Structures are given as C-alpha cells and as structure tokens.
Amino acid sequence: MPFTIKTIIIISISILLGFMNSVRSFVPFFTPEKIPYVKVQIEKRKQLPEGITALSLKEAYEIFKKNTRIFIDARLPKSYKEDHIEGAENLSLSNIDDNLTQFMDQYPFETALLLYCGSIHCDSSTRLAAKLKKVGYKDIKVFLGGWAEWRDQILKK
C-alpha cells in the first residue's frame, strides 16, 4: 500500500512529538543507564508525614499478636473483600468522604491505628494516614510492606 505525502507527514510529526515528549519527561525514550524509577518511588513512599511512623513486617506482626492497634486496610473495598489481614477494618481513600464520620464515631481520636495498603509500591496507606492525622488522629503507624508482604511472609509460613 503506497503512502501518501499526508500520511508520511503525519507519521513524521508523531515520531518527532514522541521524541520531544521523552526529552522533557522523567523517563527518557533512550538512555544507556538504568532508570531508578521504582527505587525512587519506594524512597518517596518511606517519607511519611510528620508524626507518622513506618513499621517493618516484624514490628507489625508483633503488634498484631499483641492486638494493641486497630489495623486499617487502605485498599479498595473490592481488594479488602477478597482478602485482608485478620481483624482489619477497611477505610479506603476512594470512599473516605462517605465513611469517615462513621469511622470517627467508632474509633475516637485516641485510638492507636496501624495502616497498610497493597504493597511497598502503593501509597494509599500513607495518604490515608495524612488525612486521618489532619482530622485529629494522633497515634498512627504505617506498615509499608502492605498486604503483599504480609501474605507472602506471614500467611505462607
């Protein structure tokens, strides 16, 4: 099928715009070096809002065994219903406006909370922690490994 001049111009402009976009973006189109994107995102995730503490799997599991905090699953309700840490409540950012008042009625501001989300790669628990701190909760910890690490390390033992 022969290309018309118009088709060649459109394809050329598209390729040029693609290259121009890659130059301005964080992830370039061509690079001889590895891009530390995932590592950068994980490091950013570990930077929690002031007053919120990150927990390791071991620390979270010790708290779970002692039952000294309310575990809050920050994932979407569908994911929570499929599986979650035993005894955890679900409070997702997707429905927080509908459920925050009920949550606050059930758990006073003095309640010790432990939040988690899907994995080290998600930030729902961190963002939810910031929101809960803003409304008045004081004792918030975040298990950064999330459901994936819990499932793989605790449940598969």
- 95-118 per-position pLDDT tens digit: 898 999 999 999 999 999 999 999
Exposure class string for 48-60: b at 16+ Cβ within 10 A, else e: beeebebbebeeb
Residue 20 pLDDT > 80, yes or no?
A: no
Q: Report yes or no: 89 and 73 within 8 Å, Cβ to Cβ.
A: yes
Contacts of 82 (CB under 8 A, 6+ apart): none
* pLDDT tier, 28 (very low <50, low <70, confident <90, very high otherwise): low
Residues 86 and 21 in one domain: no
* pLDDT tier, 120 (very low <50, low <70, confident <90, very high otherwise): confident
Residues 72 and 98 in one domain: yes
Residues 61 and 135 in one domain: yes
Residues 69 and 145 in one domain: yes
Please give the Cα distance from 62 to 67 (Å, whole number): 8
Residue 63: burial class (beta carbons within 10 Å; 0-12, 13-18, 19+): middle
Provide the domain limits for residue 24.
5-31
Residues 20 and 55 in one domain: no
